[in-house]
Amino acid sequence: MRPYIIIFSTITIDGKLASVDHFSELSCPYDKERQHILRSEVDAILVGGNTVRLDNPSLTSRRSPVRKDPVRVVISKDLNLNPSFKVFQTPPPTIVYSENPNPLIKKEVEEKGVKVRVINPLTMKSLTEDLYALGVRRLMVEGGGKTIWSLIREDCFDEIRVTISPRIFGSGVSLAQGEGFPGKISPLLKLKAVEECQCGQEVHLIYVR
């Protein structure tokens, strides 16, 4: 068993999460509010280690009143992350999934209350099954592109909610950054909802399996 998994992202017209120089500020205030509402409705948020390294997010919900902040889940196969990052410094709880964690960093973040779960080999199937065993029933995934690709490749997702920003990067990090599917066997999703953003410039789409 695994949680119900919602991939949430904001991308450019040409499908990029970030530019070649790592610029990724694509969301308008209304889209940020949409993101924080969803954060308040799930049990956990998942990001890859590179997202933590580049963006240093807190991964909390700023919605008020909020039911609770979700558990933060980070994937880092070697735990090569600075213990000063926000996910290690502030509540709510953080879980890191790793294959061969750096022992010094592991010790330091565990002293801060972070749980380090070692699974080798680490796959999205094994990770999400472990989260389910820990009580996570709804999981939000915010990136990055390699993490999203791994979930799609392993068939570990239920919804994709994506906001289209009126930018074109031409190159950069794609929504699903990986080796790709042959066209005929690529996943075919169903469009559930289309919402024109209140800013008048963005569109929010919800696709389901």
The pLDDT tens digits of the residues spanning 143-154 come to 899 999 999 999
Give tens-digit pLDDT for 33-44: 999 999 999 999
CATH number belonging to the domain at 4-208, selected among 3.40.190.10, 3.40.430.10, 3.30.420.40, 3.90.550.10? 3.40.430.10
Confidence of residue 104 (pLDDT cuts 50, 70, 90): very high
Spatial distance between the Cα atoms of 109 and 88, rounded to a whole number of angstroms: 7
Two tokens, residue 64: 């008020």
Does pLDDT of 91 surpass 90?
no
Burial 129-150 (b: 16+ CB within 10 A, else e): bbbbeeebeebbbbbbbbbbbb
Give tens-digit pLDDT for 160-191: 999 999 999 999 999 999 999 887 889 999 99
At 23 the pLDDT is 93
At 66 the pLDDT is 60
Q: Are 9 and 143 in contact (CB under 8 A)?
A: yes
pLDDT more than 90, % of the chain: 90
- Domain ranges in the chain are 4-208
Mean pLDDT of 49-59: 94
Mean pLDDT of 107-132: 97
Half-sphere exposure of 50 (CA within 13 A, CB side): 11
Confidence of residue 65 (pLDDT cuts 50, 70, 90): low
Spatial distance between the Cα atoms of 21 and 171, rounded to a whole number of angstroms: 10
CA of residue 55 relative to chain centroid, distance: 12
Confidence of residue 128 (pLDDT cuts 50, 70, 90): very high
> What are the CA-CA distances from residue 172 to residues 46, 53, 83, 169 (Å)?
21, 17, 27, 7
pTM for the complete prediction?
0.95
Beta bridge partners, 5, equal: 139
